[in-house]
Amino acid sequence: ADVAGIKVDDVVLSVNGEPITGQAGLVAAIRDRSPGDKVEIEILRAGERVTVSATLVARASE
């Protein structure tokens, strides 16, 4: 999220044009994608809609 430019208090509105409703919706929107896929994320930041691009990476092992 940091690399994509998403900040604390940003609200994710859509991923690749798919509306997002809550955390589960965000997980569902990226679950079937693969590392290296590029996505466009529309966010609401301080009352303004902003679009950021991100390249997905593999999730770090815990």
Q: How confident is the model at residue 44 (pLDDT cuts 50, 70, 90)?
A: very high
Provide the number of structural domains found in the chain.
1
Give domain status of residue 26, yes or no: yes
17: domain range? 11-55
Structure tokens at 14: 């859509």
Cite the DSSP H helix spans in 1-62: 22-31
Give domain status of residue 19, yes or no: yes
Question: What's the CA gap between 4 and 45, in Å, rounded?
Answer: 14
Give domain status of residue 60, yes or no: no
Considering only the C-alpha atoms of the chain, give the largest distance between any 2 of them, rounded to a whole number of Å.
Answer: 35
* Tens-digit pLDDT profile for residues 3-35: 667 888 999 999 999 999 989 998 999 888 999
CATH number, residue 40: 2.30.42.10
Q: What is the pLDDT of residue 41?
A: 94
pTM for the predicted model, two decimal places: 0.80
- 48 phi and psi, to 5 degrees? -120, 140
Structure tokens at 15: 């991923």
